[in-house]
Amino acid sequence: MGVDILKILMPRLRNGFTVVELAITVTMIVILASISIVTYNHVQLRARDNQRVSDMKTIKDAFELWGARTGKRFDESQAGSGGATLGWFDGAYGSTQSARDLLWKGGYTSTPIKDPIDKKTGMPYYSYMISYCDGSHNSRVILARLERPPSKTVNQILGSDDGDINDTDCTHSSFTNYTSAYGMNYGLLIEL
């Protein structure tokens, strides 16, 4: 009598899975993998953008320290395009060194700073640039392209980024060229 009740309560055990069970399992694995990949890519993108913002603050601090120690302005640096600390941050132009090397070899940064993607050919461009804001000899704008574009324009960011700078409006031709032709969408004003 006890055996009959067990047969009723416990259905016969079967070997293996049905096709439907396997299909459901595979579908769930694919869905979870897709979600993981999208999440991982988003986390990587945010990490790169955070690194760019951090690098730009380091560059700003390094230039301010360089200016304080040397007593020089940007156009006296003998770095970048025309020796005036302009153009690609890591670009050596002719006989001048790059602004990156000026800061790194001078001991103002601990490592040579470069964009996490570091791509200067073909859109989109990912590398740091240095531009005039208004043609002043004692100020520059360090520019970058964030992968998640900010909700503000570069000029709006510059106007609200530093407490002592109000309504900064960069109009120099190199600035407008870098933001439009190269797609730079984030900036930080550096004043010596």
Domain residue ranges of the chain, discontinuous segments joined by +: 52-191
**What is the per-residue pLDDT across 32-49, written as a single tens digit (0 to 9) for each?**
888 888 788 888 889 999
- Share the mean pLDDT of the chain: 85
45 phi, psi to nearest 5 deg: -60, -50
**What is the per-residue pLDDT across 119-144, written as a single tens digit (0 to 9) for each?**
888 888 999 999 998 877 788 999 99
Note the pTM of the prediction, 2 decimals: 0.77
Q: Please report, as a single letter, which amino acid is at residue 131.
A: S
CA nearest neighbour of 103 among 77, 122, 129: 77
| Tokens encoding 46 | 């945010």
Whether pLDDT at 61 is above 90: yes
Report pLDDT for 48.
94
Q: Looking at per-residue confidence, does 155 or 18 come out higher?
A: 18
| Tokens encoding 182 | 């190269």
Which alpha helices (H) appear in the chain, and where do they start and end?
Answer: 2-9, 19-70, 99-105, 154-161, 173-181
Whether pLDDT at 155 is above 80: no
Distance CA 125, CA 123 (A): 5
Please, how many CA atoms are within 13 Å of residue 103, restricted to the half-sphere of its CB? Answer: 26
Task: Give the position of tokens 């132009």.
Answer: 93
Kindly give, in sequence order, each residue whose CB lies less than 8 Å from that of residue 121, ignoring residues fewer than 6 positions away: none
Q: Is the Cβ–Cβ distance between 104 and 54 less than 8 Å?
A: no
Task: Give the position of tokens 């302009």.
Answer: 86
